Amino acid sequence: MDIEYIFENNRQWIADKLKKDPEYFKKLSGEQSPEILYIGCSDSRVTTGDLMGIEPGDMFVHRNIANMVSNTDLSAMSVINYAVSYLKVKHVVICGHYNCGGVKAAMQSKDMGILNPWLRNIRDVYRLHKDELNAIEFEEQKYNRLVELNVQEQCVNLIKTAEVQKALLHSQITVHGWVFDIHTGHIIDMKIDFNKILKDIMEIYRLES
Ligand SMILES: [Zn+2]
């Protein structure tokens, strides 16, 4: 890939935007007020803007390997805090995807160096849902289900944070668990029953009464 190609594309993109709206960059350089916080995988095949038709300014984004929400990850925690408490987003989306290399790597008995502690979080998801996952006969189906369960558990991790609990308590945000089906291009809403999950976990994780 010729890296110069990117600059050519950039010039073309600027021209296209200005043709449609001569004030485009004036507006874009104002304050941001995105309504969505998106937490997704770093995978190069999952391009957030393209597949959702999202324009610059619409969505605050955090991406890492296998769309994890780890409570010791200062970067993810800062993004969540800023998006929920300051930008006051209305929706938080955690979006996984089938064929996730991070999820696959976590299922292999292999020393992956610095990736070990990161992937261990996914192994923990497997342990939590071991009975269901072990009962799945086909390997690919097992991976796919783990991708879905990982999204669900990362939504739970999100709900463990004080700012998200506060916003949920005041009905300021909605949490969504999605999976991008890389085979068809569809985004699947997992329709996670957060009321049920909240009821189960809040006894332990509640930070406010
Ligand atoms: Zn991935």
pLDDT tens, position by position, 154-188: 999 999 899 998 898 888 999 999 999 999 999 99
Identify whether 95 is a catalytic site residue: no
CA-only gyration radius of the chain, Å: 19
Give the contacts of 153 (CB within 8 A, at least 6 positions apart).
124, 125, 128
**Token pair for 138:** 């086909």
Per-residue confidence at 200, pLDDT binned at 50, 70, 90? confident
Angle (CA) 198-189-122 rounded to 5° is 65
| 68 C-alpha to ligand 1 centroid (Å) | 10
Identify whether 129 is a catalytic site residue: no
Identify whether 97 is a catalytic site residue: yes
Span 139-157, pLDDT tens digits: 999 999 999 999 999 999 9
Residue 71 has pLDDT above 80, yes or no: yes
DSSP state of 42: -
Catalytic annotation, pick one of 11, 16, 21, 45: 45
CA distance 141 to 94: 20
